[in-house]
Amino acid sequence: MIGAWRAPPLARVGLRARAAVARGWVRSAASEADSRQPAAESRQDSQYRDTVLVPRSRFPAQLPGRLQPEAELETQQKCGFSELYSWQRQRKAKQEFCLHDGPPYANGDPHVGHALNKILKDITNRFYMMRGYKVHYVPGWDCHGLPIELKALSEVKGAENLSPMEIRQKAREFAERAIEKQKSAFIRWGVMADWANCYRTFDPKYEANQLRVFYKMYDKGFIYQDYKPVFWSPSAKTALAEAELEYNEQHVSRSVYMKFPLLKSPPKLTSVIDGSSSASVLVWTTQPWTVPANQAVCYMPDSAYSIVKCTTTGEHFILAADRVESTAAVLDRQFEVMSTCKGVDLADGSCAHPTIPDRVSPLLPANHVTMAKGTGLVHTAPAHGMEDYSVASHHQLPTDCLVDEGGFFTEAAGPELQNKNVLEEGNEAVIQMLQAAGSLLKEEKYVHSYPYDWRTKKPMIIRASKQWFVNTANVKATAQEVLKKVKVIPTSAANRMLEMLDRRTFWCISRQRCWGVPIPVFYQKNTGECLINSETITDVIKVVEQQGTDAWWTLPIEQLLSKEAVAKAGGHDVLDYVKGQDVLDIWFDSGTSWAHVLEGQNITVLHGGVGIGKTELGYASGKLVVTYCKAAFACKDKGLMLANSFSA
């Protein structure tokens, strides 16, 4: 900016006088860099500068680095940046406009990703404010969850000996420090928001509202408890949702080809197989550690299968016709095709378990069997696979899990395997057992895509356990119809969200940690039956509103559960029950933020969420979405998303 100035009447002054005036202007505007030039060079340059008439201004061409923060704060104070939000809320406006702030995670310092998110939202809010709208924008923070818990514990020696309440206190302190850093930065960036009334997901009022949403969904049948296989993180000792996985494309598994000896030949193949006392079905798996949990072998009903004879050993094997050539090459054997049949002809056959002689594994039809790899016959362990579990449920097979929370074999797996890590020495032990039983035909390394815990960066397993789920299948049609009415920016994001909704049948919302909002359920000590009704939830919410969810860990059950609630459920004594130990998925925390922020107000809403595929269900189920904006992620080197959960 050029300051106001008036040129002297140069026509009336001599050349020497004009040069003197010019020298004064030039010297006052000379930069600091010029003053550091050698004296000789400076004198030479001044001969030219003295011949130029330039205006004079008190506005500096640049500020030294040490003065920039002071100037920034001075500008904010003089211009009333902090007062703009309250001013526009108090003025008369034709209409309300709400941009709901999907909360950032309170697990580290502010970074460029935060800046991108907040500045885009600020541009949107100021645009609507200038159009005459009264803007509603309450910022908040997502404060619970495993990443914060792990970071807090990393700062403590002997963290494994801390009690749940000590862990919660450390995690809260860590989150509070992160919030203060992020909030200070957001304000310094000039973001217009209701900074005096920010929400935090660990605030008692917020937690109480979240529990109300949970119970409403439970009461309508959208939330249920079940025992089924889920993605499990042994490194974090908790269940995870599919959205919390990342895939390592270079994971190396130990794959095995093994044989299941036929105990009962399929009736339609008796004439071909009964003459051989050594007929088996060939099975391939990349998870040998799941073999002790095997309950069946599955085939594709409509595919073709061959009975082959190994020319070197005389053994007979059954495998998919399309996989004969490739399997023979891998095993380095010669196969002679004796007969071919349809998969349905394998019905009513059964095999001996390869390492447990007294267990029978039936041959069962299944549509998830693939012909793209393996042998076309799938080893089925109901406790360690979603499709396996579906087969087991249909045919009433056992679904016992032999693996504990840390990924170690339990006592039920037998003395040879007990206390061995299933992904390490446990895997090796099972392979050795297959070898000793004469069931192992080939072991080789197999590179493939494999799920990892996106926080700990360690491999996942699939493990059956009792968990709480949102039945997304029940709301799928409604959510898809709602989404079609939503204005999504960019439009390509809408298709991804529709695909996600169509693919998802359930959402596991329970986590086996202590830093989070507890699932407000009590269990009968003897039967394990869960207790939750309108009376129990009222009792719990009343306490949480006053003391927060810490009360779930600090108070005795008598102060959380009333006799009236127990009596309504047909119980007799409060002490017959225990508190549940699971907490809610943090995406449920942030997905219910609208219930706290809007407080029943009828406001046109623009959701500012940026987590595609993670929190949309929570927003859509609340019927609050009018417009959804999907901002790009800020990335660091190698195209990785910039996030505090990733190490530098």
Residue 620 belongs to domain with CATH number: 3.40.50.620
> Does the residue 496 lie in any domain?
no
CB < 8 Å & 24+ apart, contacts of 541-546: 541/208, 541/211, 541/212, 544/204, 544/207, 544/208, 544/211, 545/204, 545/205, 545/208, 546/204
Residues 241-271: tens digit of each pLDDT: 888 899 999 999 999 999 999 999 888 888 7
Task: Among 431, 453, 475, identify where a domain stops.
Answer: 453
Report the SS3 class of residue 153. helix
Whether the per-residue pLDDT at 623 is higher than 60: the answer is no
Residues 140 and 186 in one domain: yes
Residue 241 has what pLDDT? 87
Check residue 645 and give its pLDDT. 52
Q: How big is the CA angle at 16 (ends 13 and 21), to the nearest 5 degrees? A: 75
Evaluate whether 300 touches 376 at the Cβ level (below 8 Å): yes
Kindly state whether residue 604 falls inside one of the protein's structural domains.
yes
Reading the block at residue 400, the tokens are 């016992």
pLDDT value, residue 273: 76
26 and 126 both lie in a single domain: no
Question: According to the model, what pLDDT value does residue 600 have?
Answer: 62
**Residue where a domain terminates, one of 438, 453, 468:** 453
pLDDT of residue 25 exceeding 80, the answer is: no
Is the pLDDT reported for residue 405 higher than 90? Answer: yes
Please indicate, yes or no, whether residues 79 and 58 belong to a single structural domain of this protein. no
Is residue 622 within 8 Å of residue 98, measured between CB atoms?
no
Q: Is 572 helix (H, G, I), strand (E, B) or coil?
A: coil
The CATH number of the domain where 301 resides is what?
Answer: 3.90.740.10
Co-location of 319 and 199 in the same domain: no
The pLDDT of residue 42 is: 58
Confidence bin at 33 (pLDDT 50/70/90): very low
Kindly state whether residues 415 and 270 are assigned to the same domain: yes
Whole-structure pTM value:
0.80
Summarised one tens digit per residue, pLDDT across range 268-290 is 888 777 655 679 999 999 999 99
Is 519 inside any structural domain?
no
The answer to whether position 360 is within a domain reads: yes
Mean pLDDT of 19-28: 39
Is 626 a member of any domain? yes
State yes or no: pLDDT of 596 exceeds 90: no
**Which pLDDT score, from 0 to 100, does residue 640 have?**
55
Q: What is the pLDDT of residue 524?
A: 94
Least confident range of 72-86, 279-293, 590-604: 590-604
Mean pLDDT across the chain: 85
Q: How far is 477 from 496, CA to CA, in rounded Å?
A: 16
The CA distances from residue 97 to 84, 88, 125, 593, 603, in Å, are 16, 12, 8, 17, 6
Q: Give the rounded percent of residues in the chain with a pLDDT score beyond 90.
A: 64
- The pLDDT, as a whole number, for residue 286 is 97
**53 and 82 fall within a common domain:** no
Which of 1-5, 63-67, 172-176 tops mean pLDDT?
Answer: 172-176
Residue 488 pLDDT > 70: yes
CA angle 11, 12, 17 (to 5 degrees): 95
pLDDT digits (tens, 9 = 90+) for 464-480: 999 999 998 888 888 88
pLDDT score recorded for residue 5: 37
pLDDT of residue 36: 45
* Whole-number pLDDT of residue 30: 40
Task: Find the mean pLDDT for residues 561-572.
Answer: 89
* DSSP string covering 115-128: HHHHHHHHHHHHHH
Q: What does the DSSP assignment read for 24-80? A: HHHHHH--HHHHTS-HHHHHHHHHHHTT------SS-S---GGGHHHHHHHHHHHHT
In the prediction, which pLDDT does 605 show? 59
My answer on whether 38 and 104 are in the same domain is no
pLDDT in tens, 345-361: 999 999 999 999 899 99
Q: What is the average pLDDT across 595-613?
A: 57
> Which residue in the block uniquely carries the two structure tokens 């949102």?
470
If one counts the domains in the chain, the total is 3
Q: Say if residue 47 is exposed, middle or buried (CB neighbours under 10 Å; 0-12, 13-18, 19+).
A: exposed
Has residue 559 been placed in a domain? no
Residue 73 confidence class, pLDDT cut points 50, 70, 90: confident
Q: Both 282 and 421 in a single domain?
A: yes
Stretch among 155-159, 199-203, 277-281, 311-315 having the lowest mean pLDDT: 277-281
- Enclosing domain of residue 289: 243-453
Q: Cα(502)–Cα(53) distance, rounded to whole angstroms?
A: 72
Higher-pLDDT residue of 623, 421: 421
Rg of the chain over CA atoms, in angstroms?
Answer: 34
Specify the pLDDT at position 246. 94
Last residue of a domain, one of 429, 453, 477: 453
Quick one: 53 and 141 in the same domain? Answer: no
- Reduced to 3 states (helix: H, G, I; strand: E, B; else coil), residue 559 is helix
* Residue 186 shares a structural domain with residue 290: no
pLDDT, residue 492, reads: 80
- Report pLDDT for 481: 84
- In sequence order, the 6+-apart residues with CB closer than 8 A to the CB of 419 are 408, 409
- 521 domain residue, yes or no: no
404 within a domain of the structure (yes/no):
yes
List of residues 6+ apart from 92 with CB closer than 8 A: none
- Other residues' Cβ atoms within 10 Å of the Cβ of residue 313: 10
Residues 203 and 274 occupy one common structural domain: no
Indicate the range of 79-93, 348-362, 487-501, 626-640 predicted with least confidence. 626-640
Say yes or no to pLDDT of 609 above 50: no
Taking the C-alpha atoms of residue 67 and residue 287, their distance in angstroms, rounded to an integer, is: 62
281 and 342 together in one domain = yes
